[in-house]
Amino acid sequence: MALAGLGSSVDVVAQATASQNISNKARFTLKYAPTLEMFKENAGKDPVDNLKFIADQGFRAAYDLGMITRSPEEQEKIANEAQRLGLELGQFSLKTWDIPFVSDKSEAAKLIKEKMLAGLEIQKRTGINKALIVLGYCDPKLHIEKQTANVIENLRMCCEIVEKNGIELLMEPLNTLVNHPGVFLMRTTQAKMICVAVDHPNCKMVDDLYHQQVTEGNLISNMETCWDYIGSIHIGDNPGRNEPTTGEINYKNIFQYLYDRKYNEVLSCEHGQSKPGKEGELAIIKAYRAVDPA
User: Is residue 20 situated within a structural domain?
Assistant: no
User: Is residue 182 situated within a structural domain?
Assistant: yes
**pLDDT tens per residue, range 74-106:** 999 999 999 999 999 999 999 999 999 999 999
**Residues pairing with 232 in the sheet:** 206
**pLDDT tens per residue, range 99-142:** 999 999 999 999 999 999 999 999 999 999 999 999 999 999 99
- Reply yes or no on whether the pLDDT at 22 is more than 70: no
User: Is residue 78 situated within a structural domain?
Assistant: yes
User: Is residue 2 situated within a structural domain?
Assistant: no
User: Is residue 7 situated within a structural domain?
Assistant: no
**pLDDT tens per residue, range 173-209:** 999 999 999 999 999 999 999 999 999 999 999 999 9
User: Is residue 15 situated within a structural domain?
Assistant: no
> Nearest to residue 63, comparing CAs of 45, 43, 82?
82
What does the pLDDT read at residue 272? 98
pTM of the model: 0.91
Segments forming the whole domain that contains residue 54: 28-291
User: Is residue 111 situated within a structural domain?
Assistant: yes
The pLDDT confidence band at residue 25, using thresholds 50, 70 and 90, is confident
Instruction: Please list the active-site residues.
Output: 172, 270
Question: What CATH number did the domain enclosing 215 receive?
Answer: 3.20.20.150
**pLDDT tens per residue, range 28-52:** 999 999 999 999 999 999 999 999 9
Domain total of the chain: 1
